Structure 1
Amino acid sequence: MALEAEVVKNKQVMLKVYVTGLPEESDFNIRLHTTISLKVPESSNNGVLVKNLYLSCDPFMRLLMQKPESSLQDVISGYSPGSTIGGFGVAKVVDSRHPKFEKGDSAWGQTKWEEYSLIAESDSLIKIEHTEVPLSYYTGLLGMPGLTAFSGLYGVCNPNKGEKVFVSGVSGAVGQLVGQFAKLIGCYVVGSAKTLYQVDLLKNKLGFDDAFNYKVAEDLAAALRRYATCLAHKKVTGAEPVQ
């Protein structure tokens, strides 16, 4: 006779209402009394049950929190009031019916803002092979922001040593990494940010050669000519920097 699976409480972060403006605490609910079985149902052929360890709060999630425009409903699948917030995270496998994952494995990918998640579409999970680094790195440098920065710089821009690279809006997770990757290549790197604190951070901690505050620059084109002449930004985005 099979042992009955353990059932535990599963704390969840839910969207309460569609968000307008900056997200506020009142836009969300914490659900405390939901329960979940620590066994993947037999009906879920490739399901993986994980315990979430680290969750990433990324800018794209704000778009998913607002009421979808009719023109975007077929393109973007956002959150709806009463649903659990989803995003990227790092987790430990509790149970698995997928051949790629075993109990005890670490993984990163798309999960939900809750203690435990049953991942039916386990193709959205990537098994972590290198556990000698802090697992939290897979929400940043070794996760989605790092892969985005790496593929954009090396796969699209592909600058050479000695070239000048301009990174627009560099205070975000991806932009910071693009600049540091470019420095590793040997490029001269200039970034733009929206506060003096961020400009100081770029120059004195993250190793950028120069940076400027685009909020106070009256002429962005002139600012770029002054700090660096660069084609890398156009090559990646296909557009001029915007204020």
Structure 2
Amino acid sequence: MEYSRIVLASRPEGRVSENNFRVESGILPRPAKGEVLARVLYLSLDPYMRGRMDAGKSYAPAVEIGETMEGRAVAEVLESNDPAFAPGDLVLGSFGWASHGVLPAAGLMRVDPDLAPPSTALGVLGMPGFTGWLGLEAFGRPQKGETLVVGAATGAVGSMVGQLARLRGLRAVGVAGGPEKCDFAVKELGFDACLDHRAAPDSATLRKQLAQACPDGVDVYFENVGDKTLEAVLPLMNVGGRIPVCGMIGWYDLGALGAGGGTGRNMLPLAWRTILVQRLAVQGFIITDHYHRFGEFLTEVAPLVRDGRIAWHEDVAEGLEAAPQAFMNLLAGRNFGKQIVKVAQ
């Protein structure tokens, strides 16, 4: 079967550009025993993909030049050589930035279209939503009456964190880019407050705004941004505060660790002193280490999504060829909600 794919044409030097991608076509083999052939319907775009474009050491291998860009997708099975799946089944798997793919059936998860729209398996009921739930539960350890701050508050991870915090009786304060996103966070997602980081010229200004929004200090800071937001939050952390760390999108364009570059003044002394003096618990986590709890996540969150207590929003780009620009928009914070590419009907 003929298919299209987007490959990594070159490694970025700083910001990602369209020149880093190339569209190719080819012929897929028929599925061997234990494999399925599927047509991609929805492709997920996520910040972690930026790290895969660099050659440096990380928690997962980099995408090699000429390889298909990595990504998870919801796909429809066209041909199956495994009894676990039949044509017409919807599955979730690492098909990458491609129109079709052949994968081992053992690496696929069934998507239930009766649970929620299939695209939600990439967002609110998928890896991003799970990341928010796991990080908050396992490492944020929320307690009723506390205050939580989360960046990228209207993104797939941040929106889950803030809404779960509110359901658990916390004060939830978001940071987002632009008044439209901040309005959405408060009016639709139920945040107590949301601050526009683009309207704050520096971290000191953002810190003053956060101090007003968090009069009792910050007990949990869910870290997925880094940069100015982290610098603003750190001095506001209460004794015994917790900081789950799942990402740092504000710094991803610096490239791989050890590749050089900087963001201005060295924040390490401030961070280290604050961790010591305030006795903070800072925990980095990679969500793939925790998938044994994915069923627990679905059991709790799927009913909340179904009855509207957890809201969600998708930013949908049309067509596989739109993926590079949509990805660049995501890295620049120009998306609104979970970024998805609709590859096929």
TM, length-normalised to structure 2: 0.58
**Bigger RCO (CA 8 Å, 6+ sep):** 2
* C-alpha displacement of 1:55: 0.0
1:21 is matched with 14
Decide which of 18, 34, 39 is 1:51's aligned counterpart. Answer: 39
Contact 1:48/1:98 (<8 A) preserved: yes
1:189 is matched with 172
Three-state SS of the structure 1 residue aligned to 2:6 is: strand
2:32 is matched with 41
1:94 is matched with 78
2:64 is matched with 80
Contact 1:18/1:80 (<8 A) preserved: no
CA distance in 2: counterparts of 1:102 and 1:160, whole angstroms: 45
Contact 1:108/1:143 (<8 A) preserved: no
1:213 is matched with 196
CA distance in 2: counterparts of 1:208 and 1:11, whole angstroms: 41
Decide which of 167, 175, 180 is 2:150's aligned counterpart. Answer: 167
1:108 is matched with 92
* C-alpha displacement of 1:180: 1.6
Moved more, 136-145 or 146-155: 146-155
Three-state SS of the structure 2 residue aligned to 1:86 is: coil
Q: Deviations over 1:46-73 (max 9, x none)?
A: 322221110011111011112x12xx16
| Matched residue count | 223
Q: Which runs of 5+ in 1 are unaligned?
A: 1-7
CA distance in 2: counterparts of 1:41 and 1:136, whole angstroms: 27
CA distance in 2: counterparts of 1:15 and 1:63, whole angstroms: 12
CA distance in 1: counterparts of 2:53 and 2:35, whole angstroms: 26
* C-alpha displacement of 1:117: 0.8
Decide which of 29, 52, 58 is 1:64's aligned counterpart. Answer: 52
CA distance in 1: counterparts of 2:112 and 2:189, whole angstroms: 28
* C-alpha displacement of 1:114: 1.2
Contact 1:95/1:103 (<8 A) preserved: yes
CA distance in 1: counterparts of 2:73 and 2:114, whole angstroms: 15
TM, length-normalised to structure 1: 0.80
CA RMSD of superposed structures (Å): 2.5
1:153 is matched with 136
CA distance in 1: counterparts of 2:2 and 2:126, whole angstroms: 28
Q: Deviations over 1:51-97 (max 9, x none)?
A: 1110011111011112x12xx16x43111221111211101122333
Three-state SS of the structure 2 residue aligned to 1:78 is: coil
CA distance in 1: counterparts of 2:282 and 2:177, whole angstroms: 19
CA distance in 2: counterparts of 1:131 and 1:82, whole angstroms: 38
Three-state SS of the structure 1 residue aligned to 2:181 is: helix
Contact 2:195/2:210 (<8 A) preserved: no
Q: Deviations over 1:190-224 (max 9, x none)?
A: 01234444333322333211122345241665544
Report the residue type matching 1:201 in the other structure. Answer: F
Three-state SS of the structure 1 residue aligned to 2:46 is: coil
Contact 2:31/2:79 (<8 A) preserved: yes
Note closer, same or farther for the CA distance 1:139–1:161 as it changes in structure 2 (3 Å cut): same
CA distance in 1: counterparts of 2:152 and 2:109, whole angstroms: 29
Note closer, same or farther for the CA distance 1:19–1:124 as it changes in structure 2 (3 Å cut): farther
